[in-house]
């Protein structure tokens, strides 16, 4: 069984909070890593791509965490995020 990356879950949770605080009239300063990862040209693109990244990563981790349990991916994701 693979070890669940709890550090990555924390990063995703923090990133999700950042995304939720983004408003179109705010400037967001991205470091080089973010720009390389998202290749974005606008705040809207950053928000959309960011949400897709969070969903993709959480689904991957949740799939590992579920490991044959009779739970939906959404239930496992909610547990991982502490909701």
What phi-psi label fits residue 42: left (phi over 0), alpha (psi between -120 and 50 degrees) or beta?
A: beta
Query: Alpha-carbon distance 54 to 33, whole Å?
Result: 16
Residue that is written with structure tokens 């981790």 in the block:
61
Measured distance CA(66)–CA(15) in Å, rounded: 23
Q: Write out pLDDT tens, residues 24-83.
A: 445 555 555 555 555 556 777 777 888 888 888 888 888 887 777 788 878 887 887 776
pTM above 0.75, yes or no: no
In the chain, what is the straight-line distance between the N-terminal and C-terminal CA atoms, in Å? 24
């Amino acid at each position: 069984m693979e070890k669940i990356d709890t550090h990555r879950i924390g990063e995703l949770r923090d990133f999700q909070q950042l995304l939720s605080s983004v408003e179109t009239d705010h400037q967001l300063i991205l470091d080089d890593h973010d720009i390389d990862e998202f290749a974005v040209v606008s705040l809207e693109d950053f928000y959309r791509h960011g949400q897709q990244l969070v969903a993709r990563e959480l689904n991957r981790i949740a799939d590992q965490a579920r490991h044959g349990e009779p739970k939906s991916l959404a239930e496992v994701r909610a547990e991982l995020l502490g909701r």
